[in-house]
Structure 1
Amino acid sequence: MQPEFNRPEFLEGNSAEEIHERMMNNLPDDIDDMPGGFPYDMTMPAALEKDEIINFHIVRALMIAFPEYAWDEWLDLHGRQVHLTRHEAEPAFGYVKITAAEGTEILSGTVFCTAATETGPSIEYATTEDAVVGSERSVLIPVSAVEAGTGSNVAANTVVLMMVPDKNVTEINNPEPIRGGTERETDDDFYDRIAAEYDNSMTYLGNDTDYKRWAKQAGAGDAIVIPVWNGPGTVKLVLVDGNGKPANAKLVQDVYNYIVSPNDRSARLLPTGTAELTCAAATTVAVNYVITGLSYDETTGVEQIKADFTEAVRAVYAQAKTEGVLRYNDVRPLISAIAGVEDFETFTMNGKMQNITLKSEEYPDTGTLNFS
């Protein structure tokens, strides 16, 4: 996360009023410096302009000079210095099962969608390859969301419509969740990758930190590194996406291709001494949270507290994954730190006030939130 910018001391004392006061003090003694006088009124615009240059433009110039404080396109330029680019929003990826008459052709680009609801419009998914329904009268087709972002992630059994109906198609369904849709990488997350690149100086040694960095560069949200998992020279990466959810098949393959580069050995990152790299989606452990006696002020509400908690607990998950345990005393203080929360009585994780142990390939995932 980017640190807070602290104004240098040499910029202090440069408000328009302070600048103008110095200007008036530097006038010859025989020149009128009273408010409303000609010299006073004619010099104030210059003081205002200098104020803007110092307190806005110079401050911004200092900030964009360092990746710790830069933002948007300026931070992107810092990323280019270490050969990194920001991850753009990604569409969700999954599979749709089509039941239809034998011989029915489903062309690449055919759009299927969810039903519109009171809370949002229909979400569209386009097939990524051609398919023909065989004698089994059904076919499983890969699809990608038409619009990228977290809004393209949907649960199983929700993609049930065809944008342009085909009389030969009798049933549409996605048997598994369609996931992997992420928003554009934030400045904080991109800075973390830039800082990690500087810290590791692009060593390409193949240590745990390198594997995690490579996985994130390929689009993963995080990775668990399991060395020698299948004998000497083998490494396994257990992956989650940018939302902290298990990586979908496309992301798993993208990470593998980025590190191994099977079609171009000159771009290979995998150390020669490593005979085998395996990439797999993480197994998640759902953590259900219950809070009773929650009190808060008028600046927030239960839904906003839930959203703030969900975001804050992700940082704790990253630490828990490394240590193999989600600690109760690491999560509980997050509630009190949320803006607007005044107090609460009890807090439980999966019905208990104790730590949750995680296996080597398990990653904690937020389940239900019951705050009252």
Structure 2
Amino acid sequence: MTYENILSSMLEGVTSDVDKREGSIIYDALAPCALKLAETYFELNNFLNLVFSDTTVGIYLDRCVADFGLSRKQATKAIRKIITSGVVPIGTRWAIEDTTYKVIEFITVGEYKAECEQYGDIGNTYTGTLQSLDNISGITANLTAILLSGQEEENDENLRDRFYNKVRMPATSGNTYHYRQWALEVEGIGDCKVFPIWNGAGTVKVLIVDSNKEVDETLEATVATHIEEVRPIGATVTVDSPTAKTIEATSTITLDGSKTLEEVKASFEEKLKKYLNSTVFKTYSISYAMIGSILLTTPGVSDYENLLVNSGTANIAIESTEIPILGAVTLTEVVD
């Protein structure tokens, strides 16, 4: 139902003794109405997409999955270790770059837990010297280890995947799907893999990755605690992180003149990382041909040669307890 089709249909309903040419009174009267009707039909098509789980987004996806007892995971704050040269009061605030931290707990002499006041993974970003926001003089403070990483709000893709897992993989009586469901319920968990009877009868191993499909060992204790609260009596559960396998790529490329070498490299790294993330816990090899295809379709690349992935030209095997992560990418421009 396009504007042109609607207008044509409306004009056909006007008697032939009336001037219906463009610019005529009846044409100019019907055209705005036809445009509004076309806009309405377009919006109705979008509304249909917002009803079904495979095409809905945002708050409409939230409403869709809520019928099945699911809700979007909210952003969390990072908990960091602060090392100080003296005693600082609980509740004092410190800053580094564009983040601020509040001291929330004493650990030991000269060490404190501090919570980032900004939600999300920005709280995991910086380390180094802190500046006091409470005019504490004579004491230095340094931001060091991540005790519990901050996570961004769950994106539509991860929420949709959790929804599909729930409705397509029935979780009952502590089966494999049940452990997967329990792990994915924890804030910040993006995916997991369950190994039943991994160390004999009554043992279960759960490997987890964060919402960015990366290793985050700080989430292990949280997941273990949650599963311990809901698991069947008698099961011994081990929560661990997969081993990261670095994927490196080098190649000589011919530019088409639309992008600089730096822009091409950044775009290729982004696309390659997205591909690697898509394989986490799903495939057991990284395709050499796929990486070549990604490079060739990167904006600005006309052609490439001498592509090496982890110094070779073969597929990279990924073990069942490994996940691929992006390592160094080296692109060299062909010089005529």
SS in 2 for 1:169: coil
Amino acid at match of 2:55: Y
Which of 122, 125, 139 aligns to 1:154? It is 125
Counterpart position of 2:288: 328
1:68 Cα shift? Answer: 1.0
SS at match of 1:75: helix
Q: Which amino acid aligns with 2:70?
A: L
Alpha-carbon offset, residue 284 of structure 1:
1.9
Aligned to 1:215: 183
* Alpha carbons 1:106, 1:131 under 8 Å: kept: no
Paired residues of 1:317 and 1:326 also in contact (CA < 8 A): no
**Partner residue of 1:285?**
245
Q: What is the identity, as a one-letter code, of the residue corresponding to 2:47?
A: A
Alignment of 1:158-237 (within 5 A): 158-164=127-133, 166-167=136-137, 169-170=139-140, 172-174=142-144, 176=145, 180-200=149-169, 202-219=170-187, 220-237=189-206
Match of 1:369 among 317, 322, 329: 329
Name the residue aligned to 1:304. 267
Query: 1:343 aligns to what?
Result: 303
User: In the superposition, relative to structure 1, how do residues 113 and 286 fare at CA in structure 2: closer, same or farther (>3 Å)?
Assistant: farther
Q: Distance in 1 between matches of 2:316 and 2:186?
A: 30
Secondary structure class of the residue paired with 1:128: strand
Q: Does 1:42 align with 2:29?
A: yes
Cα distance in 2, alignment partners of residues 217 and 294 from structure 1: 46
Residues 245 and 92 of structure 1: CA distance in aligned 2, closer, same or farther (over 3 Å): farther
The residue that corresponds to 1:258 in the other structure is 226
Q: Secondary structure at the match of 1:345?
A: strand
Paired letter, 1:247 = D
In structure 2, C-alpha distance between the alignment counterparts of 1:188 and 1:260, rounded to whole Å: 27
How far has the Cα of 1:43 moved from its partner? 1.5
Deviation at 1:28, TM superposition (A): 1.9
Q: C-alpha root-mean-square deviation of aligned residues, in Å?
A: 2.7
- Aligned counterparts of 1:341 and 1:271: Cα–Cα separation in 2: 54
Contact 1:294–1:344 (8 Å) recurs in 2: yes
Q: TM-score with structure 2 length normalisation?
A: 0.85
1:328-372 Cα shifts (integer Å, max 9, x gaps): 344443323434433221322332333444444332222222233
In 1: Cα distance, 2:204 partner to 2:117 partner: 34
Contact 2:95–2:130 (8 Å) recurs in 1? yes
**2 CA distance for matches of 1:178 and 1:328?**
37
Q: TM-score when scaled to structure 1?
A: 0.77
Compute the displacement of 1:18 (Å): 1.5
In the alignment, which residue of structure 1 is the partner of 2:11? 24
Q: How big is the shift at 1:205?
A: 4.2
| Structure 1: distance between partners of 2:202 and 2:20 | 81
Q: Could you tell me whether the CA contact under 8 Å between 1:212 and 1:224 is conserved in 2? A: yes
Residue 71 (structure 1) aligned to one of 47, 57, 75: 57
Aligned residue-pair number: 327
Following the alignment from structure 2 to structure 1, what is the Cα–Cα distance between the partners of residues 115 and 147?
9
Gap regions ≥5 residues in structure 1: 1-13, 115-120, 262-267
Classify 1:184/1:362 alpha carbon distance in 2 versus 1 (closer, same or farther; 3 Å).
Answer: same
Structure 1 residues 211 and 296: alpha-carbon distance in aligned structure 2, compared to 1, 3 A threshold: farther
Does the 8 Å contact 1:152/1:179 carry over to 2?
no
Correspondence for 1:117: none
Task: Pick the aligned partner of 1:51 from 9, 20, 38.
Answer: 38
Give the CA deviation at 1:276.
1.5
1:136-147 to 2 correspondences below 5 Å: 138-139=110-111, 141-147=112-118
Q: In the alignment, residue 228 of structure 2 is paired with which amino acid?
A: V
Asked if 1 retains the 8 angstrom alpha-carbon contact of 2:268 and 2:294, the reply is no
- Residue matched to 1:129: 105
Give aligned-pair identity as a percent: 23
Structure 1 partner of 2:92: 110
Taking the aligned partners of 1:207 and 1:296, their CA distance within structure 2 comes to 53
Is 2:286 the counterpart of 1:316? no
Contact 1:212–1:225 (Cα < 8 Å) also in 2: yes
Displacement after TM superposition at 1:58 (Å): 0.8
The residue type equivalent to 1:79 in the other structure is V
Is 1:86 aligned to 2:68, yes or no?
Answer: no
What is the letter of the counterpart of residue 114 of structure 2? V
